[in-house]
Chains A and B, each alone.
Chain A
């Protein structure tokens, strides 16, 4: 059918294919490219911040622009880089790992991507339309509600739209994992990456509504004259902080849990051992997800919640160190006595362990409420969360990309260049952020545009900036590796790393219907069990038959485009009611495409058994 002849087509047809695709593997590519571009953008913002702080009293950028940089760096990295990159991994891997032919709702999968994409574009349009948001990525009221430019409006609309996409994606993966596992794959036989995505999706389902509510309140305060956060009119600014962190803390677990899954897969594969303590790992994952909802107020120890609330949240926060510790030890024991292969994916994973442990340790320090009064809003906090987010999430994404690149694109990333990218990034990372612990303890506050001469902060900041350049070098080598690999490297085999899970039982990249016959799962590490019994492939759970596939659709793109247009209408109707016309046009497009989707039957098509036999997947 249409998607099958994707080769040898013009650029227009190629674009149209991706705009209309509902195939989870292609949506993974979209997420990867979009998330990767936003990652580079966020990195560029980080470099500008570090250049501004290279020497005391620097005038590289103005104070206002600096505020926009720090806000957009944080917002971009969390919402537009880390989240979509993780969604790229989920889309690329989860259906394959559970032996499914697609996600439960392919149409919604596409819609989720386009909503995220247009939300991100709105957010970044702000740069060219009168200034980016400048109230910090947390957008605390009243700073955000009183910020004079349209920046924060872009923040509100951009995050609202991309947040809806994330929520849709999360629900999609929940349903997929609950309902579409291959025969024999019970919950306790799911690969750990699938487990972590399952818990992550649950967290998305419960956490994102809090952000949605918060953003709506903010939107009405800024655009329609409500006073939820206006103290003078009886509002309360602390409500925003709570809503933001009720979402925001689970959000950081949404970021870290998938890469915990990645590391579990990588350690097991490259140590040639079953993951140590699988059931303890599952338990720890669920426990982290559960505790993740009871710790948010540790971001707000200094708002004056009182000693009782502070103590409760301090204790629950410290409790999270327990399941995380279980995981760290299990990874170490997985490697213990294994036949370790130090591939690039493994290198990133091994580097993650000490890095993340340092981040976890400073996390426990920050959790001590009384001590937090000293650390709060200093570079100590900045160092802490970069240790867990860069040292955890970014290392994990790099490991995952090296590990699953052949499954996503059919080629193994060049190992030599991979290691060349790793070392500057790893060294640069520690240069940048380790010293920031001490800058923070010396009293350097975060988010400040300048520091002054003669306060002992010069050397530390210089080292930090030099480290940032090393990290940039690492990223550039990684990008070069992608280009080099796609030009020079040979096609990868189905199972280049001697893998253990189902995704390695099908060709790289897989045919668009994934599994010709649904595999029968006989235990944890399903493919490894078959291999250890001398079999070359999975035992099929069904006879060869027709495969039902969904048609592609442009509707998700149009639906999101409508919201994108309406977003600008909402932002600018404050200045002139004429802009409301954009709201009507945009919402009209969105509601119209929802109507079309509702009344038009889209039953999909079948790949016939004869074609499957004849073409051996090469339709």
Chain B
């Protein structure tokens, strides 16, 4: 009986690892594609007013991939680090917003 539960547990873990691996590979491939896309945008003759926001967007998505899939923030038990990261981002964002709107407007 005990053996049985162990084996099902292992199978469950195996399936989970497989899923995890799949996520990692997909996000890795996506990141490579994004990087190539970013370089391609710069090399091609597209207006920089289009290129810059798109590159920034791609960068943000890559950071999200990095944090959530490679650094496991999507897994349980990461609520507090997430809260701190977003809190810090909010403060940094406020600072930059102030500097660009009040000081250097």
Contact = CB atoms under 8 A, between A and B. Distances in A.
Interface in A220-269: 236, 238-239, 242, 246
A174 to B, nearest CB: 8
B84 A205 contact: yes
Contacts of A202: 84, 87
B103 A293 contact: no
Contacts, number: 35
A294 B94 contact: yes
Given A178-B80, A206-B91, A239 B103 contact: yes
Interface in B57-105: 80, 84, 87-88, 90-91, 94-95, 98-99, 101-104
A339 interface: no
A239 B99 contact: yes
Nearest to A241: B103
A205 B80 contact: no
A206 B102 contact: no
Interface string B46-62: 00000000000000000
Contacts of B80: 178
Contacts of B103: 236, 238-239, 242
A306 B87 CA distance: 28
Nearest to B79: A178
A210 B95 contact: yes
Contacts of A206: 87-88, 91
B28 to A, nearest CB: 31
A242 B84 contact: no
Interface string A597-612: 0000000000000000
A309 interface: yes
A468 B98 CA distance: 40
A305 B94 contact: no
A242 B88 contact: no
Interface string A288-317: 000001100100000001100100000000
A522 B104 CA distance: 55
Residue among B98, B102, B103 with most chain A CB within 10 A: B102
Secondary structure type dominating chain B contacts: helix
Contacts of B91: 206-207, 246, 293
Nearest to B81: A178
B102 A309 contact: yes
Contact of B102 (A207, A210, A305): A305
Contacts of B98: 242, 246, 297
B81 to A, nearest CB: 9
A212 to B, nearest CB: 13
A293 B99 contact: no
Nearest to B105: A306
Interface string A155-187: 000000000000000000010001000000000
B101 to A, nearest CB: 8
Interface string A466-482: 00000000000000000
A205 B87 CA distance: 10
B26 to A, nearest CB: 32
A294 to B, nearest CB: 7
B97 to A, nearest CB: 11
Nearest to B87: A206
Contact of B95 (A236, A238, A246): A246
A205 B102 CA distance: 25
A205 B95 CA distance: 15
Nearest to A177: B80
A9 to B, nearest CB: 41
Interface in A380-416: none
A205 B94 contact: no
A147 B72 CA distance: 51
Interface string A194-226: 000000001001110010000000000000000
A349 B88 CA distance: 34
A430 B91 CA distance: 37
A297 B95 CA distance: 11
B88 A205 contact: yes
A305 B103 CA distance: 8
A94 B91 CA distance: 27
Contacts of A297: 98, 102
Contacts of A239: 99, 103
Contacts of B102: 242, 297, 305-306, 309
A206 B92 CA distance: 9
A202 B95 CA distance: 17
A202 B87 CA distance: 9
A144 B50 CA distance: 44
A455 B88 CA distance: 49
A297 B97 CA distance: 13
B46 to A, nearest CB: 33
A178 B79 CA distance: 11
Contacts of A207: 91
A293 B80 CA distance: 19
A144 B101 CA distance: 25
Nearest to B91: A206
A125 B26 CA distance: 59
A240 to B, nearest CB: 11
A236 B105 CA distance: 13
Given A239-B103, A242-B99, A305-B102, A293 B94 contact: yes
A581 to B, nearest CB: 37
9 closest cross-chain pairs (CB), A and B? A206-B91, A309-B102, A178-B80, A305-B102, A238-B103, A293-B91, A246-B95, A206-B88, A206-B87
7 contacts: A205-B84, A206-B88, A206-B91, A238-B103, A239-B103, A242-B103, A297-B98
Interface of A: 174, 178, 202, 205-207, 210, 236, 238-239, 242, 246, 293-294, 297, 305-306, 309
Given A246-B94, A297-B98, 18 more contacts: A174-B84, A178-B80, A202-B84, A205-B84, A205-B88, A206-B88, A207-B91, A236-B104, A239-B99, A242-B95, A242-B98, A242-B102, A246-B91, A293-B91, A294-B94, A297-B102, A305-B102, A306-B102
